[in-house]
Amino acid sequence: MRLPGRVKLIEVGLRDGIQSEPRFIPTERKVALAHAIARAGVPMLEATAFVHPRVVPQMADAEAVTARENRAPGIAYAALVPNRRGAERALAAGVDEIRCVIMCSETFNHRNVQMPVSESLRQAAEMARLAHEAGVRFVGGLGTAFGCPFEGAVDEKRVRSLVAALVALGVDGVCLSDTTGMANPAQVERLAGLLLDQWPELPVILHFHNTRGAGLANVLGGMAAGVTCFEASVGGIGGCPFAPKATGNICTEDTVHMLHEMGVETGIDLAALLDAARLMEETLGRELPGQVLKAGPRSRLFPAT
């Protein structure tokens, strides 16, 4: 099996993870969760989305969550932005990276941001320019890259042409999202491989949802193609508010556990990450999908083997 020596994980629990939570999580608790995640050595946090609070009420405190005095040390702060206004707010807050999401399917893009993909690309160009003028990294996200719940299969040629459009904007990376868990590992290996063949230097990030149980298998598919950066959420929480039957992201601590067991480094302290997952579980007041939180790490059961 082709495995990298090291993988970078980006924590998205405080954005993708909680965006559909009906009960507003107090800002102090979000800040405490960010600090717990940082203590585990996670290198980057997608901390919030600068979106209108009417659209996603849970993100109404984006400025406070990313305020300098509230920030956790040693972790980079990224934020999702839907449009120019969001990008301006995120840059004013001083985040380290801004990220947009364009859906590969027109139907989903319209449901998500009420505009055609061509207009989303036009706005992404503006956001990329604003970010780079401010010296901030800009990552172009492509949602429904492996399938759309409204349109079905998404043509790989379409994904490639959208990646080409983002590359032309000078993006600092491209994130392919399996928004509603339709990907399989063979497809992930093929599509990621296709992109890396064409753009060997392009940082490719993969974002999986475990909707149909293939999440961690898809991480293997991505690593087989040479991808070394993945997004995950503590406890395996998450789901898009505009997607039918959406379920959680791949679980960060389960991903870390699997990678470490295979000898792939992440730089993350699993025990500290489990503390963060427990804090998330306590915050949401219900059992979360993460498996290692329930079973305990293998090394705790058999420390000598």
Residues making contact with Zn ion (CB under 5 A): 16
Q: How far is the CB of 250 from Zn ion (least distance, A)?
A: 10
Stretch (H or E) spanning 112: helix 106-113
Q: How far is the CB of 248 from Zn ion (least distance, A)?
A: 9
Cβ–Cβ < 8 Å for 291, 261: no
Nearer to Zn ion (CB atom), residue 16 or residue 254: 16
Nearer to Zn ion (CB atom), residue 130 or residue 243: 243
Q: Give the burial class of 291: count Cβ atoms within 10 A of its Cβ; 0-12 exposed, 13-18 middle, 19 or more buried.
A: middle
Nearer to Zn ion (CB atom), residue 235 or residue 297: 235
Q: Which amino acid is at 100?
A: C
- The answer to whether residue 240 is catalytic is yes
Q: Per-residue b/e over 8-44, b at no fewer than 16 CB within 10 Å?
A: bbbbbbbbbbbbbbeeebebeebbbbbbbbbbbbbbb
Nearer to Zn ion (CB atom), residue 16 or residue 253: 16
CA 162 to chain CA centroid, nearest Å = 19
Q: How far is the CB of 16 from Zn ion (least distance, A)?
A: 4
Q: How far is the CB of 249 from Zn ion (least distance, A)?
A: 6
**Options 100, 148, 229, 240, the catalytic residue:** 240
Residue nearest to Zn ion (CB): 16
Question: What phi and psi, each to the nearest 5 degrees, are found at residue 154?
Answer: -115, 125
Catalytic residues: 240
